[in-house]
Every structure is written in C-alpha cells, then in structure tokens.
Amino acid sequence: MNIAVLRKHLTDNRRGFLGWALSITAVAAMYSSMWPVMGGNSGLATAVNSFPKSMRDAFHMEDYGTVAGYFGSTVFGLLVPILLAVFATAAGTSAIAGDEEAGTLDLVMAYPVRRVTLALSRWLAVLAAIALTGLVLLLVELAIRVPARFAALSAANLAAMTFQLTLFGCCFASIAFGIGAYTGRRMHAIAGGAYVTIIAYLCDSFLPQINGLHWIQYWSPFHWYLGGEPLKNGIQWIHCALLAGLGLSFAAIGICGFNRRDLTQGN
C-alpha cells in the first residue's frame, strides 16, 4: 500500500465521498426521527402486522411496532442499504476502470508505483470512504437517539448494525472495483455491480417466498447484512465473514487481472 496514493485518491474525490456520506446519513436520520409518529403508532403497527406474512418477510416488516423492528424495516431495511450499494458501486468503479477509460490512469502509471500497489491503495481508499460514511451515520444516529425517542435501541446494537452496513457497502464496492480492475471497462463494472445488487436483493426478499426457494436467501449479501438481526442480537460474525470474504475475493481477482493486463491494448 502507498499512503500517498491512498490520500491522493481520497482528496481528489472528497466532495463526492462527503456528499454521499451526508446524503445517506440524512436519509437515515429522517426515517429515524419519524419513529415516534410511524413506529410508535399502534394503529399503523397493527395494520402492518395484518399484512400477509410473505409480504412482511419480503420487506423485513416483522415486529413493526417495536423500535428494532421499525429500524430493521425502514432505516436499515431498504433505502439506506440500496443508496450505500449505489455509492459503493460508483466509488469502486471509478477507482481503476473510471480513470482508465478517461485516460488519466496513464499519468499515474508514469510515476514509479507498481500496479499492485496502485490498485491496492485505491481499493483501500474506497473502503475508507465507505467506513467514513458508516461512522458519520452512527454518530448522527447516536446524537438523535434520545431526542427522537429510540433510546430503547441500545448503542451497542446500533453500532453492530452500522458495522454490518459498512461491511455490506465495502462488499459491493469491492465487487465493482474487482470487475473494473479486471476488465478495464467502466460499464462492465457498473453493470456487474448493479446486477449483483438486484439479484442479491431479490434472493433475500421475493424469491424466498416461492415454494422450494427459501434456501436461496442464505446466498444473498442482503441476508448476510440484515438476516441475523444485529439490532436485536448484536454483530453476526459469520455473516460479517461472508461479506468480507466475498469482497476480498473480487478485489483479489481484480488486482491480479489488473497486474497482468496489457493497458496499451485497453481503451
């Protein structure tokens, strides 16, 4: 790893990274602040609990009237992880493939930096941006925890949920990074990351509702992120290992492919 390369990538993309971090945090804070009105509404909770079980399972709407159930289905259940997956895919794509297609990677390669070092440093810079997003989100959630009246949700479990959300984002960033580094094609990385995101979501939500396909959710990063209910049970280390393992595998394949690829025959 080269600290200068890592710092340069973070500095060059600081506005975009910070913008995504604040936007994702703002969405999470908005849904969190609605807990007293939405989650604390017994009539609404009763109505939600009357939905068909398959629908509640698909949208993680179990125990909607409890603070953990509300946060699991709204704040951390759909929009925030989807936004983070989009951010992660975009950041992972731009790390190598984006600059390569834009023609700016040649300028970086002119310096005495090995390919593996360059790719590894940029990948770690993207992961650092995802981690910063998770940290900002956690600090804001802890700050509004008492005013928004969800203090029943322990700080430890909230930190566990945010930690797994961060790993979830790092996983999708690594997938897009790996595809982009291996192929050198921005569109391949975007399409691959989007495809994995959509398939992973379907495997965790709608496909398990089909008879005989319940097992498929255990192969989904969305299930690894949320299925163990970290808001109730704390960090699920096996799920964390699966998220980290999938991300590391894509990143390693991408870095190896980038190291062997003839860049002069690329774009």
In tens digits, the chain (267 residues) has pLDDT values of: 778 888 888 898 889 999 999 999 999 999 898 888 776 666 666 777 677 666 666 666 677 778 888 888 888 988 899 999 999 999 999 888 887 777 777 777 777 778 888 999 999 999 999 999 999 999 999 999 999 888 888 999 999 999 999 999 999 999 999 999 998 888 999 999 999 999 998 888 888 888 888 889 899 999 999 888 899 999 999 999 999 999 999 999 999 988 887 665 544
Indicate the angle between helix axes 115-144 and 155-183, nearest 10 degrees.
150
Neighbours of 44 (CB within 10 A): 14
Q: Hey, what amino acid is at 16?
A: G
Report the C-alpha gap between 222 and 81 in whole angstroms. Answer: 9
pTM listed for this prediction: 0.89
Burial class (CB in 10 A: 0-12, 13-18, 19+), 143: exposed
Kindly provide the b/e burial profile for residues 217-231, where b requires at least 16 CB atoms within 10 angstroms of the residue's own CB: beebbbbbbbebbbb
Token pair for 80: 């925030």
Report the C-alpha gap between 207 and 3 in whole angstroms. Answer: 44
Token pair for 220: 């989904």
Token pair for 114: 């090995």
Report the C-alpha gap between 89 and 118 in whole angstroms. Answer: 19
CA 20 vs CA 76, 90, 132: distances in Å: 16, 11, 10
